[in-house]
């Protein structure tokens, strides 16, 4: 029986800290009922609910002290009652394992960075209403504001010699309607003359610029905009962060990622480059000129002789192979360290001795830690298991890494560099995990219609009984080039689905990385093609199992997964009894001129729908889900958000209206304040309740 029908089943008491941690000396705000802290959960059942899911602590921004004795990191907790989350900063002594909460206030503290000498922790705080740079002692005492930048700042880094700080801040450079017509000071109108006026979840009213300032340990001064007041941005929208910007080890230059294009040209290109800005001469140099795809994430060796960076080969293809390139800064020679593998390389760092680079790579639906020797280019796989690593730092004797899986939220681990054995050290969610029974996760290879093999995950309900029969859900992945790996999601959580009595079938269909370049690239220009057959191969194979009821099947998905659901709704031959599509593409022709990033539409769809001589594009639009609505015969739940500018909410509205006009049972859940994702606690819980009430109605 599903326990969501009897909410609430838990009582949540917010406390200052758990028994295995202590609270640092905080001189800001005392801990009280308005402070969002780790919940002290006492569950009435071992089955996960939406409230439990939103109670997990979310670890981020792990950093290591210069003496390698302590890590600092952020943890975010959410409050259903306050309908928001709050991030605080923690430290963990690697020897004593003592955890200390360094901040505990009603405002957010984040982006914690240790000074190069370890004497202070810099962090951003919203205490004054704007995000400003503050510092505190490593024990959490003596919090002092350092920056007083109008409008606030969004990220920062110390120079290695601690004489300067770089920070990023938004700069308005476009003329608005109010600027043009000062007497219309209350107008809300926007005037557009070119593309990229909005991106993913925001209207582009400002540009993220890099500033450098002198730093004396007390206050920033002599702030300089190194972007020269031009309409460039760094970091690059929409997901870029401080990993795209770095000081050189001698503190004389700043390396930054930028796409120096505007308007239509910007919307069609992924050609970002890494630039060096010389703090003495004020000169800017393009270090990756002539490299046509994404070039980003500059990382320097300790001696400053080498820079590693991530690079894609082809302009306009955002899902190209992420290569690990190293450049010798003395002779400008570039070497692809991952030329001999068909895998992406991400989250890389130089080893302490400078002889190798550690990186994370996905292969066969897990993300593991690898190393590559700079000279020999020999690649070694360090870890192996049913999990995903998401970040790595090298300590004295071990690697320090964050790890997740379908059955565990992110925690911090020590990883043996030679054996790959890992040991958890953070235990942020130990209390909740000890009370929850997770379903078993299995995998198998399934034969596809063209004779190949696809990797499929199965997630079983807790207390699974093979003598009974269960309804099953086909999970359709988004991206589209995004591996169905061992991720932990706070919306598309497989254990949450399984806890409601469903077996989840999650295939790595065509168009996903981690299975070779050919497998990944097959989907481009073939939406509605082989990858859809792969979905059907996976679910048809699953129904051969005696405990899966083939008469109680549902299909769900978001983004490209939502497209997949819409397409399957018109082509499933009565396999499914219910559908759920979240922020999916319904009409590909409308999508082409509604979306923001034209490089994505041009590459994956094949081009414009008005190009009648383009056979690839015309085949794509011929297979648009809206062209099969006449075949719809199954109840469908449509979910879409207003602030999703990648896939406009009108796509969901059109799908819902089409279903109702066809007489199909349908619902539409509309979020006016969410984006491509649902991030507010009460919206997230509503999402979960509606998700399962719909599936239960038709599958149970």
164-177 pLDDT per residue, tens: 999 999 999 988 99
Residues 572, 424, single domain; the answer is: no
* pLDDT tens readout for residues 677-689: 999 999 999 999 9
Residue 17 has pLDDT above 90, yes or no: no
Determine the pLDDT at residue 20.
38
Q: Which of 435, 469, 499 is the last residue of a domain?
A: 435
Q: If you average pLDDT over residues 644-669, what whole number do you get? A: 98
- Joined together, the tokens standing for residue 671 give 């979020």
> Does the pLDDT of residue 2 top 50, yes or no?
no
Total domains present in the chain: 3
Cα separation, 131 vs 644, whole angstroms:
25
477, exposed or middle or buried, with CB in 10 Å at 0-12, 13-18, 19+? buried
Last residue of a domain, one of 410, 435, 460: 435
pLDDT > 50? residue 364: yes
Do 457 and 368 belong together in one domain?
no
In a domain, 317, yes or no: no
End-to-end CA distance of the chain: 10
Question: What mean pLDDT is predicted for residues 611-631?
Answer: 97
Percent of the chain residues topping a pLDDT of 70: 95
Looking up tokens 């290695």 gives 160
Q: Give the pLDDT score at 229.
A: 84
pLDDT at residue 686 in the model:
98
The arithmetic mean of pLDDT across residues 217-233, rounded, is 93
Put simply, whether the predicted model's pTM sits higher than 0.85 gets the answer yes
Per-residue confidence (pLDDT) for residue 16, from 0 to 100: 30
The whole-angstrom separation of Cα 347 and Cα 330 is 24
**Structural domain contains residue 507:** yes
Q: Do 641 and 507 belong to one domain?
A: yes
* Cβ atoms within 10 Å of 440's Cβ, excluding its own: 12
pLDDT for the residue numbered 228 = 86
Instruction: Dig out the tokens for 672 from the structure.
Output: 């006016």
What is the tens place of the pLDDT at every residue in 630-654?
999 999 999 999 999 999 999 999 9
* Contacts for 534 with CB less than 8 Å, ≥ 6 apart: 448, 449, 454, 507, 509, 510
- 80-104 pLDDT tens trace: 999 999 999 999 999 999 999 999 9
Residue 181 lies in a domain: no
Are 649 and 511 in the same domain? yes
463-472 average pLDDT score = 98
DSSP β-ladder status, 21-23 and 99-101: parallel
The domain that contains 627 carries what CATH number?
Answer: 3.40.50.1820
Is pLDDT above 60 for 10?
no
- 27 pLDDT higher than 80: no
Check pLDDT > 60 for residue 8. Answer: no
Question: Could you tell me if 110 and 124 lie in one domain?
Answer: yes
Q: For residue 175, what pLDDT is reported?
A: 87
Domain membership of residue 224 (yes or no) is: no
Mean local confidence (pLDDT), 13-24:
35
* pLDDT higher than 80, residue 6: no
What does the chain come to in residues? 700
Give the HSE-up count for residue 472: Cα atoms under 13 Å, Cβ half-sphere: 27
Residue range 648-662: mean pLDDT, rounded: 98
Report the mean per-residue pLDDT for the chain.
94
The 10s digit of each residue's pLDDT in 176-192 is 999 999 999 999 999 99
Active site residues: 559, 644, 676
Does the pLDDT value for residue 122 go beyond 60? yes
Residue 155 domain-assigned (yes or no): no
Query: Distance (Å, rounded) from C-alpha 387 to C-alpha 448?
Result: 25
Across residues 530-555, what is the average pLDDT?
A: 98
Which of 146, 171, 190 is the last residue in one of the domains? 146
CATH code of the domain covering residue 365? 2.40.128.660
Structural domain contains residue 260:
no
Residues 660 and 535 in one domain: yes
Residue 15 confidence (pLDDT) above 50: no
pLDDT score of 12 more than 90 = no
Determine, yes or no, domain membership for 308: no
Residue 687 and residue 672 share a domain: yes
| Confidence grade of residue 609 (pLDDT, cut at 50, 70, 90) | very high
Same-domain pairing of 358 and 452 = no
Based on the domain organization, do 550 and 419 belong to the same domain?
no
pLDDT number for residue 33 = 52
pLDDT for 18 equals: 34
Q: What is the pLDDT of residue 9?
A: 27
Answer yes or no: is 689 within a domain.
Answer: yes
Distances from the Cα of 222 to the Cα of 202, 279, 339, 511, angstroms: 30, 13, 44, 49
Q: What does DSSP assign to residue 460? A: P
Domain containing 470 equals: 441-699
pLDDT at residue number 696: 98
Q: Could you tell me which residue, 229 or 378, shows the higher pLDDT?
A: 378
Task: Say yes or no: 446 and 585 in one domain.
Answer: yes
Residues 623 and 557 placed together within one structural domain of the fold = yes
| pLDDT over threshold 50, residue 111 | yes
Query: Can you tell me the distance from the alpha carbon of 303 to that of 403, in angstroms, rounded to the nearest whole number?
Result: 30
One domain for residues 493 and 380: no
């Amino acid at each position: 029986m599903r326990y969501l029908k009897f909410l609430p089943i838990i009582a949540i008491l917010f406390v200052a800290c758990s028994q295995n941690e202590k609270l640092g000396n905080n001189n800001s705000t005392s801990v009280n009922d308005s402070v969002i802290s780790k919940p002290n959960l006492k569950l009435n059942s071992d089955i996960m609910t939406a409230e439990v899911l939103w109670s997990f602590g979310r670890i981020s921004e792990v950093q290591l002290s210069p003496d390698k004795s302590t890590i600092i990191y952020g943890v975010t907790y959410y409050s259903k009652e306050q309908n928001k989350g709050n991030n605080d900063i923690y430290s963990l002594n690697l020897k004593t394992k003592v955890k200390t909460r360094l901040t505990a206030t009603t405002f957010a503290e984040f982006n914690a960075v240790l000074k190069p000498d370890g004497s202070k922790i810099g962090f951003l705080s919203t205490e004054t209403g704007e995000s400003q740079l503050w510092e505190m002692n490593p024990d959490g005492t003596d919090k002092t504001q350092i920056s007083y930048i109008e409008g606030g700042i969004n990220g920062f880094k110390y120079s290695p010699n601690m004489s300067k700080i770089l920070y990023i801040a938004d700069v308005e450079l476009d003329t608005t309607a109010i600027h043009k017509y000062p007497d219309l000071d209350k107008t809300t109108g926007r005037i557009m003359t070119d593309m990229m006026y909005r991106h993913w979840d925001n209207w582009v009213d400002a540009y993220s610029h890099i500033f450098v300032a002198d730093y004396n340990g007390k206050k920033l001064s002599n702030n300089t905009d190194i972007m020269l007041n031009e309409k460039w941005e760094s970091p690059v929208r929409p997901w870029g962060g401080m990993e795209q910007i770095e000081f050189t080890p001698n503190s004389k230059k700043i390396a930054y990622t930028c796409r120096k294009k505007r308007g239509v040209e910007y919307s069609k290109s992924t050609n970002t480059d890494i630039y060096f800005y010389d703090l003495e001469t004020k000169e800017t140099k393009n270090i990756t000129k002539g490299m046509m795809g994404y070039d980003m994430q500059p990382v320097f060796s300790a001696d400053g002789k080498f820079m590693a960076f991530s690079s894609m080969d082809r302009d306009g293809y955002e899902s190209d192979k992420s290569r690990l390139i190293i450049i010798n800064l003395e002779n400008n020679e570039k070497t692809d360290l991952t030329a001999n593998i068909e895998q992406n390389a991400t989250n890389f760092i130089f080893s302490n001795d400078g002889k190798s680079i550690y990186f994370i790579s996905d292969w066969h639906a897990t993300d593991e830690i690898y190393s590559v020797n700079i000279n020999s280019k020999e690649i070694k796989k360090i870890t192996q298991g049913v999990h995903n690593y998401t970040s790595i730092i090298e300590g004295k004797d071990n690697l320090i890494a964050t790890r997740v899986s379908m059955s565990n939220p992110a925690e911090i681990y020590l990883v043996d560099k030679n054996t790959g054995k890992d040991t958890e050290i953070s235990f942020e969610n130990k209390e909740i995990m000890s009370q929850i029974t997770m379903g078993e996760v299995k995998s198998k290879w399934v034969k596809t219609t063209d004779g190949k093999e696809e990797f499929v995950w199965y997630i079983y309900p807790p207390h699974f009984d093979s003598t009974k029969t269960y309804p099953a859900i086909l999970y359709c992945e988004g991206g589209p080039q995004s591996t169905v790996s061992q991720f932990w999601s706070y919306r598309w959580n497989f254990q949450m689905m399984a806890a409601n009595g469903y077996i989840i079938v999650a295939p790595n269909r065509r168009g996903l990385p981690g299975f070779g370049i050919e497998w990944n690239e097959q989907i481009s220009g073939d939406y509605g093609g082989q990858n859809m057959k792969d979905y059907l191969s996976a679910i048809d194979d699953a129904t051969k199992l005696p405990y899966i009821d083939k008469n109680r099947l549902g299909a769900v998905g978001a983004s490209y997964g939502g497209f997949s659901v819409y397409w399957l709704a018109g082509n499933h031959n009565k396999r499914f009894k219910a559908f759920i599509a979240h922020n999916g593409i319904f009409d590909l022709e409308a999508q082409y001129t509604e979306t923001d990033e034209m490089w994505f539409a041009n590459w994956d769809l094949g081009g414009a729908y008005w190009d009648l001589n383009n056979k690839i594009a015309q085949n794509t639009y011929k297979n648009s889900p809206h062209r099969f609505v006449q075949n719809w015969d199954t109840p469908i739940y449509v979910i879409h958000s207003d602030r999703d500018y990648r896939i406009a909410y009108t796509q969901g509205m059109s799908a819902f209206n089409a279903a109702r006009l066809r007489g199909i049972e349908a619902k539409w859940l509309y979020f006016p304040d969410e984006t491509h994702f649902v991030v507010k606690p009460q919206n997230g819980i509503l999402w979960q309740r509606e998700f399962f009430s719909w599936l239960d109605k038709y599958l149970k």
